[in-house]
Chains A and B, each alone.
Chain A
Amino acid sequence: MLSPIDISALALRLAKLDEVKGRSLWADARLRFMRNKAAVAGVILLLLCAGFAAFGQLISPYSYDYIDFNIMGHAAEMGAPSWAKGYYFGIDDQGRDLFARVAMGTRISLWVGVIGTAISVLAGTLYGAVSGYVGGRTDSLMMRLVDVLLSIPFMFVLILLLVMFGKSLTVLFMGIGFLSWPAMARIVRGQTLTLKSREFIEAAQATGVPALRIILRHIVPNLLGIVVVYATLLVPDIILTESFISFLGLGVQEPQTSLGELISEGAKTMRYGTLWQLAFPMGFFMATMFGFYFVGDGLRDALDPKDR
């Protein structure tokens, strides 16, 4: 015999059985992302690269600037990759352990990519959101400025900056970040224009929320999806820019290094048969780029409402 209390509990449970569990926008996107094999592979690839960048230094018995004078200048004969000596990736022309150097190069390239993107996203989002929200004359003036900045040859100005203010990581971070925000601003502005006419913004305006607050509390959070997608695609672009600059020898200073500079060194010495100097940095560069492209594409497919 069931007591009345048990029966009512049962009834409650039965009622809950039929209830469909709601899925949030983000949970939905996560599901779509996880189903995308290339995107998941990209995440794994990136985690491996980041892990190598973060911990590679600890695995190697040598530091990135330790010079082995016994094999310095004899990279071709004695510097090939060898487990026994602890030179997993071989040595470079100056007798330094390539494993440690590639780890450092990957680390710097990733840092430049992430910090440059962060600066660009922050500046671009705020600028674009303000421009789109305020509208009218201010908007067209602000966007005209973006047009002007976009038609300035970015790479040339960056090279000028680096030469003028010294080749340092800070200048590189700042330069790349500040030079790549206008494109972001444009995308964000477009999105803000469509958000602006929605009811919840009108409600906020009607209750007298100040403009800046509306932008920060109501507009920016709703831009997050599109910003995340473009940011993921911006990171490889920035890594590419940094590698390009480093390839020319205008990037980070010795003994620090980045992937572009290692590729450039490898390219200079490949005619002596020390191919590992080219292959390892290039491999990590391409793996990182693949990772970001796959993740970026996956995120776009997962978050872009157009493709649903």
Chain B
Amino acid sequence: MENSPLESVRSSDATINKKAKWKNRQRVLVFAARGINHRDRHLMRDLKTLMPHHRSESKMERTKTLSVVNEMCEMKHCNKALLFEGRRKKDLYMWAACAPSGPSVKFLVENAHTMGELKMAGNCLRGSRPLLSFDMQFKKIPHLNLIKEILTQTLGVPNHHPKSQPFFDHVYTFTYLDDRIWFRNFQILSEDGGLSEIGPRFVLNPIKIFEESFTGKCLWQNSSYVSPTRQRQEIKKAMKDRYVNRMEQKVLKESNPVKNAYKFNENDDIFETSDAIKKAKEYADNSISKQDKQRKERKNQMKQKLKKKKAK
């Protein structure tokens, strides 16, 4: 390794004593609470395959309080915890915490795609160390900076971890967009930027940051966060309004029927009988007699008026 120029490929015979150099000893307890969805379970499994430094734990009962997690971590010699919590078999929440005293973050996990999806064509070594790429926003905004530190320590694979591989073949990107953190995992095909997605992919919507692990004062809270249940409720309410509007309009329309939808020619029914000419003559006579009547009426009216004037 000392001779330059550098060989970019390590010979496969070269052995490295990993344990001696293993400084950054992170252990992450990755587990779920009961009531998790199958897709979310697969997502958790994918994360586990990508994290050789994980410890697993059986599903946690919902009757327990969250502070129990700290004891679990202590028993498993873990200093980090990733807890997946499913609600209503629909929504997934993820807690990321530094076990004994550190901060903890609660995220809502949205749009999760697992590694099993066929459109993700990339692949990487199991346990190779990912490059962690963060958006520039993580530098500027304090709470994002804290989240970045937690994510780096949990998802980043420690150097010289016994189960890790000494090659760099994938990269995680964390991008802050639309008030959420978007996670992607790409395989490095070529070192000049050829990429192929491995998965999983998900979006983390940060909800709260606590000072202690699973307890403590709230350091940051997302005021724009709306819980998915509430969101669904609002959509339903909007639907209700639509229904009511439609029914009202229907009733209104029925109560005011259209009077003259089409202008009929009133003489049209002449043609409905076999001898139209006869009928037409009848009509003509009628109309003439009507006109006569009207004339007579008018004359009478005029006469009456004149009489009244004279009387005055």
Q: Indicate whether A and B interact.
A: no
Residues of A whose CB lies within 8 Å of any CB of B are none
